[in-house]
Amino acid sequence: MRLIFAKDYEDMSCEAAKIVSGQLYLKPQSVLGLATGSTPIGLYDRLVQVHQTVGLDFSGVTTFNLDEYVGLSSENPESYHYFMKEHLFSRVNLRPDHCFVPNGMAEDLEEEGRRYDALIEQAGGIDLQVLGIGRNAHIGFNEPDIKFEAMTHKVRLDDETIRANARFFAREEDVPRYAISMGIRNIMLARRVLLLASGPEKAEAVYAAACGNVSPKAPASILQLHRDATIIADAAAAARLPEAWREHRSYHF
Ligand code: GLP
């Protein structure tokens, strides 16, 4: 695992944009795994900037988002699909038919999970998976006690996650209780993983991801076993990591 210690949110987003842009320059037909939430917004803004200023080309890129709320359509402003259209899909030259998000309106969510996994496989697998992290160390919507072998499936959200995500909804009661999410196995199958973390409320989760026991109790801890995982944490999110590591700009172990 590699850790990059960023000063703040801006610095974290810049570092992440360099890695994603570098991936696309090297492989213009890349398959990206994408995340939602507040954390990657700065990354998406910078990718749009690189697209506009130096022509970073998304025309050959395929994207797969990690997750979607059950019961929200892509036209619903609170859905993750809508979020992606607003923050990235509509702002770069991605082909709309190359942008995939699990369908939270599917009647049979198990079938939708299988369909989504098959699409990822047909696209050749994910080259670079972008992740945020929940306060309880969830990745995607893989909440604590998830089975590490899970592929895309229906999940019940933790109360803590519902509270944390309520800020995007008019009322906490409006937050869907279920989601459809890529599983840990989908994430582990990605060739590269890039996890972003910002702010003091993520410090425990980052510690669990990088230094804790590898356990389903902290889903992100599985990334310690990934062949090419990078965490970019800003100073507040990295605060619990060993000081000797934080003296460097980046640290491998
Ligand atoms: C949600 C998403 C995760 C995201 C997490 C953290 O639960 N399913 O993919 O990483 O929230 O969100 P934020 O970046 O807003 O803190």
By C-alpha distance, which of 220, 214, 216 is closest to 233?
Answer: 220
List of domains in the chain: 2-252 (3.40.50.1360)
Could you identify the atom of ligand 1 that is nearest to the CA of residue 37?
15
Tokens at residue 193, please? 């993983």
pLDDT on residue 230: 98
pLDDT on residue 40: 98
Could you identify the atom of ligand 1 that is nearest to the CA of residue 201?
16
pLDDT on residue 115: 98
pTM, two decimals, is 0.97
pLDDT on residue 119: 98
Ligand 1 mean position to 206 CA, how many Å?
13
pLDDT on residue 50: 98
Spans of the chain, pLDDT less than 50 = none
pLDDT on residue 181: 98
Out of 9, 12, 34, 36, give the residue to mutate to test ligand 1, the one with the largest number of ligand atoms within 8 Å of its CB.
Answer: 36
pLDDT on residue 162: 96
Helices H, strands E: what count in the chain?
Answer: 8, 11
Rounded to the nearest 5 percent, the helix, strand and coil shares of the chain are 40, 20, 40
